[in-house]
Chains A and B, each alone.
Chain A
Amino acid sequence: MSVLVTGSNGFLGSVLVERLIAQGTKGIRCFVREGSNRSRLDRLRERHPEAEIEYYFGTLNSAGDPVGAVEGVSRIYHLAAALDGAPADMFLNTVVATKNLLEAVATHNPSVEMVHVSSFSVYGVADLPAGHILTEETPLEKHPEKRDPYAFVKWYQEKIVMEYQKRLDFPLVVLRPGVIYGPNGGGISGRVGLQLGGLFLHLGGSNRIPLSYVENCADAIITCAEQHGCGVAIYNVHDDDLPTSRAYLRSYKKKVKRLRSVPVPYPLLQLISRGVEWYHHYSRGQLPAIFTPYKSANLWKGNLFDNSKLKSTGWRQRIPTEEGMERTFSFLADADAERGT
């Protein structure tokens, strides 16, 4: 079986490619932009000279580019998404890019198995009570325009994927990971808190953080894809032993670097959010509305998580959270030391 991986030289994508090699997948076509940093994939190729890894150069933003990439593959792992940038650019690089990919599927490979990596951010939990157990049945966001640009584009991206599935009826697995972390990934998740100048606002308190160690996440993607037959299957992806935000931050401070942090209890955060939102409107956007009551409720009100549907596929957490955090923090500490801060 040959597969196409979009977003293949990203943080999760490169690990997924490595797990596909380990699992014995033959013919891995990696969709990469011309001139993009392919060092992770190049290193993989060096480590696994026997692996059949092919680079397919193009950009998903360009309608015609994905056509050749989708031809002849039996499965597509669609991971490509913009993590930052201006909202319109993020939309273009995520949603329009996905539409272009699916148009190519429609015309050149309509029965391909599609594996779409979505996000927890598509759920709308702002109006649900604190402690709500987030499962695949949790309602989707009703007001994506009220969320941050990343949540907005991931919501739209999944919507587009679902619309094309309905039209073309290809087998579809949608995975919604929580916080993917690991070496080469980002720093502290926004679910824990935000850096504001020299101060870290600890917003997560005693909330559980839905961590998904990058290798465990890649395992989950492959396991769910392998299990799937036809129709649509949706899985939330996170590990078993989830730390609280407080425990995560404590460990980060101990193992990566000292942080001047201030805990912001949720009621106070809501008060601040109201103030920020009011000022944003009052000043006609002089400062961005980084906090609003709606955004804050979605991220920091506090949910519980359940990965039993994922486990029903046979997936098991291979890297324990303690070890995953150890590896991640060790990487971040080294990176920090290298920067000389």
Chain B
Amino acid sequence: MTGEKLKVAVVGCGQIADGHISEIQKLDNAEVTALCDREPLMAEQAAVRHGVPGHYRLFEELLEKERPDVVHITTPPQSHLPLAIQAIDAGCHVYVEKPLTPRYEETERLIAHAEKKNRKLTIGHIYYFDPPALALRDLYASGAIGEAVHVESFYGYNLAGPFGKAILGDGKHWVHQLPGKLFHNNIDHLLNKVLEFVDDERPMVVAHGEVRRTTRFGDIRDTMPDELRILIQGESTSAYATFSSHVKPAAHFLRLYGTKNIAHADFVARTLVLEQEPSLPSALGRLLPAFGMARQYRREGWRNVRRFLRSDFHFFSGMNTLISRFYDSILDDAPLPIPYRDILRIGWVMEEIFRQLDGLGEHS
């Protein structure tokens, strides 16, 4: 398919669809030709704002009339499986927003179906391709960190933000219907970075969740857990992951503890620094590291300035890279940006976490 432009359709025209459409429209090898939402006004508004020619209420009509090469599925997760299967059966490659499906068994089924039909599938693990994640991957590959001993992943969530408000403003919001509720819609971002370094098929997982907010609604929203701690133990690497809705600022980072050095990737400030063994003895060894860190942060700051000047400092940078690599994998028949094995391992760990939290969040 080299040289051709991919025809892309987006189904589900909520908040995240805006990000998808904008990022696809930045690419030279693809164009968004149609949008779909079961509420026709939602499809229409997105089409008008983004200048997309087609908009539909019925997905089957879109598939039949537009015949897209790729479909992005940005609907609530409960509908991902049937829509993705429908798109694959129509000959489309699919990019599915996270979480891929509400249940692990459905994830297995979807991937098997994509493989059987020889269509490509990826999931919206966008931070996996953010600049700090890419830089960390390069650094790890260079051997500067050594072997991974332990990983710490932190994902802060702002419940007062637009999506948090939507969840708390509506007791019928689809997030409340997911097995893992708020966590289910977010911890892909927490886990994909961890499981990159914990390579085990079935690591040991221990999870603890709780509700920190005060009771306010008298319904299911009051019991929605908002703090999660996860311990993961692999054969050679361990990990600790935190999801917090109350820590301010809402930090987002990954710390990789290696046998040589410790790397700290900050996804908010978009920096990557290395904590190194002091090269000087005694008091001097404690005096100099602060200056070394200051130098690294200054270097990272200027790198970001240069990216900004090159117009390469967008909010959805990771999404853009992921979409771009996914499309390359389709056009050039190159490997997928996210191996199916990783999608399945993350799905399994999520299911295990929600199994352990089962009952938490039920409203009596």
Contacts and interface: CB of A to CB of B under 8 A. Distances in A.
A59 interface: yes
A145 B49 contact: yes
Interface string B54-76: 00000000000000000000000
Contacts of A92: 14, 39, 42
A96 B37 CA distance: 12
A160 B44 CA distance: 13
B14 A88 contact: yes
B42 A59 contact: no
A89 B41 contact: no
B212 interface: no
A124 to B, nearest CB: 15
A91 B45 contact: yes
Contacts of A341: none
Contacts of A61: 170
A36 B169 contact: yes
Given A33-B169, A35-B216, A99-B41, A88 B314 contact: no
Interface stretch (B15-23, B108-116, B146-154, B268-276): B15-23
B15 A285 contact: no
Interface in B1-40: 13-15, 17-18, 22, 26, 39
Interface stretch (B184-192, B217-225, B240-248, B326-334): B217-225
A94 B218 CA distance: 25
A209 B217 CA distance: 39
A152 B49 CA distance: 9
Interface residues of B, number: 32
Contacts of B48: 144-145
A281 to B, nearest CB: 10
A276 B22 CA distance: 18
Contacts of A96: 39, 41-42
A85 B18 CA distance: 13
B171 interface: yes
A241 interface: no
B302 interface: no
Nearest to A37: B216
B170 A33 contact: yes
Contacts of A144: 48
A62 B162 CA distance: 18
A86 B17 CA distance: 11
25 contacts: A33-B169, A33-B170, A34-B171, A35-B169, A35-B217, A35-B218, A59-B169, A59-B172, A61-B170, A62-B172, A86-B15, A87-B18, A87-B45, A88-B14, A89-B15, A96-B41, A145-B48, A152-B45, A156-B41, A156-B45, A283-B311, A284-B26, A284-B314, A285-B22, A286-B314
Interface of B: 13-15, 17-18, 22, 26, 39, 41-42, 45-46, 48-49, 162-163, 165-166, 168-172, 216-219, 221, 308, 311, 313-314
Give the 3 A-B CB pairs with smallest separation, nearest first. A35-B217, A283-B311, A86-B15
Interface of A: 33-36, 59, 61-62, 85-89, 91-92, 95-96, 99, 144-145, 152, 156, 160, 282-286
